[in-house]
Amino acid sequence: MRLHAKPLPWKWIAAGVAAVALLATARLLPVKEWLESLRGWIGSLGPLGGLLYGIVYVVAALLFVPGIVLTLGAGYLFGFFWGTVIVSAASTTAAALAFLIARYFARESVERLARGNRTFGAIDRAIGKNGWKVVALLRLSPLVPFSLSNYLYGLTSVRLAPYLLASWIAMLPATFLYVSLGAAGESLGQGRARSPWEWALLAGGGAATVAVTVILTRVAKKELAKIRLEEKES
């Protein structure tokens, strides 16, 4: 099985591009005022605001819209805890719906997508032998973009319940990372003076989140390499 020799660090590339884009946009447009207006409107809706945001997230994922900006936005608008809850629930729901669509409703269309993806055959064989374990590892170190992979998994032999559980748990580190970045942006944008202790906590929390995500990604890559070696030897 050849999953990939050296997969590009898409998470970090995406995070860097998003950060640069946000900084550039913030300088050119009145983004802060817009975000404050949006946060005020969502806040006026109460729990319905979080539900609507989650629905938008699910629809975006099903339509192949990259979720990083929405994940950052959830942290900004709802804070770390509720942002994480909303993104985790929405991303898992999107993963479930795309999986079911591919398996039961649009199999032929998704199969055409799969034929155009060179990595899918290797993923399919690996999942056939190792099941949900490969799903979890691929979520931690993705070889296929999130939205596309949700559909492709529906063509594999993995069952829905293990797939969802593995996906939910393995997506949490990246969710923590991007939501915490969004929450930190909201915190920094409040404009009030912060004590050195608050700055230390903010920096330490961000560094710890990044470190954990990096470590888990490296572990996932090593495990995928072991699976590849075992298949070659079998």
**Is residue 15 included in any domain, yes or no?**
yes
> In Å, how far are 63, 78, 96, 178, 179 from 183, measured between CA atoms?
26, 8, 27, 9, 6
**Is residue 140 included in any domain, yes or no?**
yes
Domain tally for the chain?
Answer: 1
Predicted confidence pLDDT, tens digits, the chain (234 residues): 455 445 555 555 665 666 566 556 555 655 556 566 777 787 788 889 899 999 999 999 999 888 888 998 898 889 889 999 999 999 999 999 999 999 988 888 888 877 777 677 777 777 777 788 888 888 877 667 888 889 989 888 889 999 999 999 989 988 988 888 888 776 555 554 555 554 565 555 556 555 555 665 666 566 666 666 665 655
Contact 203, 92 (CB under 8 A): no
**Is residue 131 included in any domain, yes or no?**
yes
Give the structural domain span for 136. Answer: 10-233
**Is residue 3 included in any domain, yes or no?**
no
pTM assigned to the model? 0.71
**Is residue 69 included in any domain, yes or no?**
yes
Please state the length of the chain. 234
**Is residue 72 included in any domain, yes or no?**
yes
**Is residue 127 included in any domain, yes or no?**
yes
**Is residue 229 included in any domain, yes or no?**
yes
Say how many C-beta atoms besides its own lie within 10 A of residue 7's C-beta: 16
> In Å, how far are 132, 169, 230 from 88, measured between CA atoms?
18, 9, 33
